[in-house]
């Protein structure tokens, strides 16, 4: 029996081949220099007759095997009305590198009995697997759905890969259709609106750029300015512009409040009690409360409530892609693209599980304790190895005193991959670049924190009655830090010692004062916040969020500005003009808001469930965009007018 296995990347093909062959591999070159062919024998495939030994050739692609576009002869830029692209025929082609990879697959598939797909286990991986299948059939007409299999795996640990080889499944054709739908819609809507916006605005933007640089020598840019549109790019831009507008339109307001300060003679410490009403914007009202309390109660208050209760600092949920990107941005100031790239390299090297996942729940059957053991056994001592060992200490005794706890279950499960977790520990000859090192340590610490006990503390709350006005103070004593000992980015500290007061006890007020303050504007958008907003509103997937942020930076719709230790995202004149221009046309809900894209993502899920078809979704959304296009084309002068207005007003007005 001959089997052709095809992975999504050469590094995965190499690792899987080494595991299945036991290291006995013959390596040869392919027409594409970054793809190798690995030949070996393997006897574990369940589909092989009699489970006998198979001659296996394993190779790979390098991402998508085809490119989807319009025929340039008929639909190239300037050769048709962009509106025609909503109904134009779409072609699938290969660039020279893709052609070389395709030729390699055709050649290797000629005499095989089975084709096994080893692409990443997500929607995109299913689509790439289908592309591989279509290419292999060109070299072997005997290949069909009956001799096509698909390996299900999420990391490169040996037992996991062997299990994937022994228990293959079939390609998910519905997922293939969902990705094909997204590719077609993004192409039709993106290209048509990009051409419309560029034809309308590019000249004005170029002239503005030249005028800004008229006092210095500027190298002439031969590339045409492109004002691109993307159904994920624009809502992403909309979030940044919305924050900018809220800051620019903010007007501070003065407010007033009352606070009491009480001294505990036994401890020579003071405690501040805050007003239960918070603060009010009417100074006269607060002054009235203050003067009445002073007149009728003086400096005496009464304890009206004393509570002491245990509190819990919950350990984090298991790690998803979005949480990884968000926290790497927050803790390490790494942008989403950098953190995801580092995570993918770690996955390809076999150190962590597949880093593109929406799942925040570990299956009960998963052996998490063996993963913890690998962080202190057979690896170099690390900053967390002792903690990992202590988690499992006493696990096998009659009265185990270990602190291992099965992780909390979140509310998301994509049914494809488990949460991100470490697979192996750091060996003696491991070399990481700085970003890989940070991401690996974060993944390990997050995983260990998930498997730890929650933090435990005691919260004391005291309320004072000052002439029927209530004032509160809280104090925290941390009793057990637990997971916080391995998670240095989260703070949970003891607060000031509370005074020793009892119910109905009279208390002398050291100071009662009326204080004022001012409301503060929101801060500019950080990348961590933007990732959270995109995830919450269904803009992009866990794997593409970083791409959309980078795209609007590259198009000069936003800038990334460092202030002190923080990096903020701010819109440019062009970015603001695009969002406000579509608002002027009346399309803000469809372009700068997330509703349209969220609706499409919901439709893609319905395709995966079989309740909608690709053609139904494409027809529905294309018809909507035809209407958006017509309205934009009829009102395109508004885009230019808004651009001039924003340029005149400036960014800081």
Clarify whether residues 596 and 645 are in a common domain: yes
Whether residue 445 has pLDDT greater than 80: yes
- How far is Cα 349 from Cα 334, in angstroms, rounded to an integer? 21
Give helix 434-450 / helix 321-332 axis angle, nearest 10°: 120
Q: Same domain for 237 and 184?
A: yes
Distance CA 651, CA 653 (A): 6
pLDDT of residue 427: 72
Residues 6 or more apart in contact with residue 210 via CB below 8 angstroms: 218
Please determine, for residue 216, whether its predicted confidence score (pLDDT) is greater than 80: no
Q: What confidence score (pLDDT) does residue 490 get?
A: 93
Report the distance separating Cα 168 and Cα 472, nearest Å: 61
Instruction: Decide if pLDDT at 374 tops 70.
Output: yes
Among the candidates 499, 518, 537, a domain finishes at 518
Interval 590-599 mean pLDDT: 85
For residues 65 and 137, membership in a common domain is answered with: yes
Predicted pLDDT of residue 33? 93
| Domain end position, chosen among 154, 171, 188 | 171
Instruction: Reply yes or no on whether the pLDDT at 486 is more than 50.
Output: yes
- Report pLDDT for 394: 62
Q: Are residues 266 and 390 in the same domain?
A: no
pLDDT of res. 431: 74
CATH number at residue 88: 3.40.50.140
User: What beta strand segments (E) does 83-225 contain?
Assistant: 90-93, 114-118, 148-150
Q: How confident is the model at residue 208 (pLDDT cuts 50, 70, 90)?
A: confident
Same domain? For 363 and 399 the reply is yes
- Predicted confidence at residue 219, as pLDDT, reads 47
- pLDDT for residue 365: 83
State pLDDT tens for residues 464-482: 999 999 999 999 999 999 9
139 and 21 inside one domain: yes
How confident is the model at residue 399, as a pLDDT? Answer: 46
In this prediction, residue 401 carries a pLDDT of 57
Whether 502 and 600 share a structural domain = no
243 pLDDT higher than 90:
yes
* pLDDT of 396 higher than 60: no
| pLDDT tops 50 at residue 218 | no
pTM passes above 0.75 = yes
Average pLDDT over residues 23-48: 93
Q: With contact defined as beta carbons under 8 Å apart, do 585 and 632 qualify?
A: yes
CATH of the domain at 353: 1.10.290.10
Q: Is the domain of 132 the same as that of 232?
A: no
| Cα–Cα distance for residue pair 449/452, rounded to 1 Å | 5
Residues 346, 490 share a domain: no
Which one of 171, 195, 210 terminates a domain?
A: 171
Q: Give the helix/strand (H/E) hosting 619.
A: helix 614-634
**CA-to-CA distance for 619 and 623, rounded, in angstroms?**
6
Residues 6+ apart with CB under 8 A from 504: 302, 303, 304
CA 75 to chain centre: 35
Q: Which domain holds residue 328?
A: 321-450
Do 20 and 126 sit in the same domain of this protein? yes
Give how many domains the chain has, as a whole number. Answer: 4
User: In whole angstroms, what is the distance from residue 420 CA to residue 423 CA?
Assistant: 9
Closest CA to 195 of 90, 85, 71: 85
Confidence of residue 652 (pLDDT cuts 50, 70, 90): low
Contacts of 506 by beta carbon, 8 Å cutoff, 6+ apart = 300, 301, 302
Residues 157 and 15 in one domain: yes
DSSP tag of 118: E
| Residues with a known catalytic role | 354
Average pLDDT of 426-436? Answer: 81
DSSP classification of residue 299: T
Are 586 and 572 a contacting pair, CB within 8 Å? no
Percentage of residues in the chain with pLDDT exceeding 90?
73
Rg of the chain over all Cα atoms, to the nearest angstrom: 31
Which residues, 6+ apart, have CB-to-CB distance to 207 below 8 Å? Answer: none
- Report pLDDT digits (tens) over 247-305: 999 999 999 999 999 998 777 788 999 999 999 999 999 999 999 999 999 999 999 99
pLDDT tens for residues 311-367? Answer: 999 999 999 999 999 999 999 989 999 999 999 999 988 899 999 888 999 988 888
Residues 200 and 300 in one domain: no
How would residue 592 be classed by pLDDT, with cut points 50, 70 and 90?
confident
Q: Which of 32-41, 202-211, 449-458 has the lowest mean pLDDT?
A: 202-211
CATH number of the domain that residue 284 is part of: 2.70.20.10
The count of residues in the chain is 653
Task: Answer whether residue 25 shows pLDDT above 90.
Answer: yes
Task: Give me the mean pLDDT over the 411-415 stretch.
Answer: 79
Quickly state the pLDDT bin for 428 (edges 50, 70, 90).
low
Q: Determine the Cα–Cα distance for residues 536 and 529; give it in Å rounded to an integer.
A: 11
pLDDT at position 213:
59
Closest to 523 in 3D by CA, of 168, 147, 240, 110: 240
Task: Check if the beta carbon of residue 303 is closer than 8 Å to that of residue 504.
Answer: yes
How confident is the model over 495-502, as a mean pLDDT? 86
Question: Residue 570: is its pLDDT beyond 90?
Answer: yes
Q: Are 566 and 572 in contact (CB under 8 A)?
A: no
Query: So what's the pLDDT on residue 566?
Result: 84
Over residues 173-199, mean pLDDT: 95
**Section 444-461 average pLDDT:** 95
- The answer to whether 128 touches 65, Cβ cutoff 8 Å, is yes
User: Across 69-78, 142-151, 422-431, which has the greatest mean pLDDT?
Assistant: 142-151
pLDDT at 275: 97
Contact by Cβ (8 Å): 515, 506: no
**Is a pLDDT exceeding 70 seen at residue 222?**
no
DSSP per residue, 479-525: EE-GGGGT-TTS-----PPPP---TT-EEE-SEEEEEEEE--PPPPB
pLDDT given at position 50: 64
């Amino acid at each position: 029996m001959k089997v052709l296995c095809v992975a999504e990347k050469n590094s995965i093909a190499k690792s899987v081949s080494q595991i299945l062959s036991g290291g006995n591999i013959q390596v040869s070159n392919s027409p594409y220099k970054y793809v190798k062919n690995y030949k070996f024998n393997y006897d574990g495939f369940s589909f092989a007759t009699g489970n006998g030994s198979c001659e296996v050739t394993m190779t790979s692609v390098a991402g998508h095997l085809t490119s989807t576009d319009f025929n340039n002869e008929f639909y190239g830029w300037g050769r048709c009305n962009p509106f025609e692209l909503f109904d134009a025929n779409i072609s699938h082609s290969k660039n020279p590198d893709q052609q070389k990879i395709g030729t390699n697959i055709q050649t290797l598939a000629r005499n095989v009995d089975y084709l096994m797909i080893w692409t990443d286990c997500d929607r995109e991986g299913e689509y790439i697997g289908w592309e591989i299948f279509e290419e292999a059939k060109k070299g072997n007409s005997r290949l069909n759905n009956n001799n096509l299999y698909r390996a299900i795996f999420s990391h490169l640990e040996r037992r996991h890969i062997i299990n994937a080889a022994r228990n293959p499944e079939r390609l998910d054709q519905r997922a293939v259709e969902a990705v094909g739908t997204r590719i077609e819609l993004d192409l039709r809507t993106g290209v048509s609106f990009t051409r419309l916006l560029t034809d309308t605005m590019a000249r004005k933007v170029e002239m503005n750029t030249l005028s800004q640089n008229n006092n210095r020598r500027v190298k002439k840019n031969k590339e045409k300015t492109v004002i691109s549109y993307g159904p994920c790019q624009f809502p992403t831009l909309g979030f940044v512009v919305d924050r900018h507008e809220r800051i620019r339109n903010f007007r501070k307001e003065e407010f007033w409040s009352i606070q009491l300060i009480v001294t505990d003679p036994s401890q020579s410490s003071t405690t501040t009690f805050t007003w239960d009403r918070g603060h009010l914007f009417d100074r006269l009202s607060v002054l009235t409360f203050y003067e009445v309390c002073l007149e009728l109660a003086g400096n005496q208050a009464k304890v009206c409530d004393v509570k002491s209760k245990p509190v819990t600092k919950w350990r984090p949920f298991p790690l998803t892609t979005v949480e990884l990107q968000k926290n790497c941005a927050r803790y390490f100031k790494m942008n989403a693209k950098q953190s995801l790239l580092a995570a993918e390299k770690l996955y390809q090297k076999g150190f962590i599980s597949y880093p593109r996942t929406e799942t925040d729940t570990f299956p009960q059957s998963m052996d998490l304790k063996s993963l913890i053991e690998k962080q202190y056994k057979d690896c170099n001592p690390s900053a967390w190895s002792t903690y990992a060992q202590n988690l499992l200490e006493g696990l096998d005794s009659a009265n185990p005193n270990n602190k291992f706890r099965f992780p909390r279950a979140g509310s998301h499960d994509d049914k494809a991959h488990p949460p991100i977790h470490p697979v192996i520990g750091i060996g003696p000859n491991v070399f990481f670049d700085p970003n890989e090192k940070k991401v690996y340590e974060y993944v390990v610490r997050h995983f260990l924190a998930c498997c730890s006990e929650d933090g435990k503390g005691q919260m004391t709350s005291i309320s004072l009655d000052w002439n029927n006005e209530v004032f509160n103070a809280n104090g925290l004593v941390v009793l057990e830090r637990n997971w916080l000992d391995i998670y240095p980015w989260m703070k949970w500290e003891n607060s000031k010692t509370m005074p020793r007061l009892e119910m109905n006890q009279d208390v002398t007020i050291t100071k009662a004062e009326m204080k004022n303050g001012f409301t503060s504007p929101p801060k500019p958008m950080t990348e961590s916040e933007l990732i959270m907003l995109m995830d919450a509103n269904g803009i992009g997937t866990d794997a593409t969020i970083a791409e959309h942020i980078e795209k609007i930076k590259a198009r000069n719709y936003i800038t990334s500005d460092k202030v002190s230790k923080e990096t903020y995202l701010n819109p440019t004149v062009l970015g603001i003009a695009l969002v406000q221009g579509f608002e002027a046309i009346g399309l803000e809900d469809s372009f700068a808001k997330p509703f349209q894209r969220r609706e499409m993502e919901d439709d893609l899920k319905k395709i995966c469930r079989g309740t909608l078809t690709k053609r139904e979704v494409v027809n529905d959304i294309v018809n909507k965009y035809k209407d958006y296009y017509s309205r934009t084309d009829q009102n395109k002068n508004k885009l230019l007018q808004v651009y001039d207005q924003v340029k005149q007003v400036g960014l800081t007005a």
